[in-house]
Amino acid sequence: AWNHLNDVESGKRKIIGVNHGTQDENMHYNVQKIDDSLSNKQKIRLEDVKSNRSNEDVSSCLEQIRLACENNDDLFELVINAVKHRCTLGEIISTMKEVFGTYMAPTGF
């Protein structure tokens, strides 16, 4: 154990994350600042899409997706159709979550 410790500390034995391949604690990252006007423009575009679509078609598409999820049917064509009828990704995913729930990864222990 003593020899192993000395080898690690001297660098003779490399252990990734201990004495090899570690990052400098003082690294500085330049974080990209996103212009707030882009976010506002996207919100306006989304509101425009929602106000100029058929709510009946949207409801029908989302109901078809929900039923397909419950019956373990193929979703591909239904999702494509929903997008063509201006359903948002959030609406489609929320419909799927109602049936499937949200995945929780096991801890492994």
In this prediction, residue 109 carries a pLDDT of 61
Q: Is 0.75 surpassed by the pTM of this model?
A: no
Q: Which amino acid is at 31?
A: V
Element (H, E) at 93: helix 89-100
Which of 72, 66, 77, 74 is closest to 99 using CA atoms? 66
Six-digit token string for 69: 């999820």
Q: Strand pairing partners for 49?
A: none
pLDDT digits (tens, 9 = 90+) for 34-73: 889 999 999 999 999 999 999 999 999 999 999 999 999 9
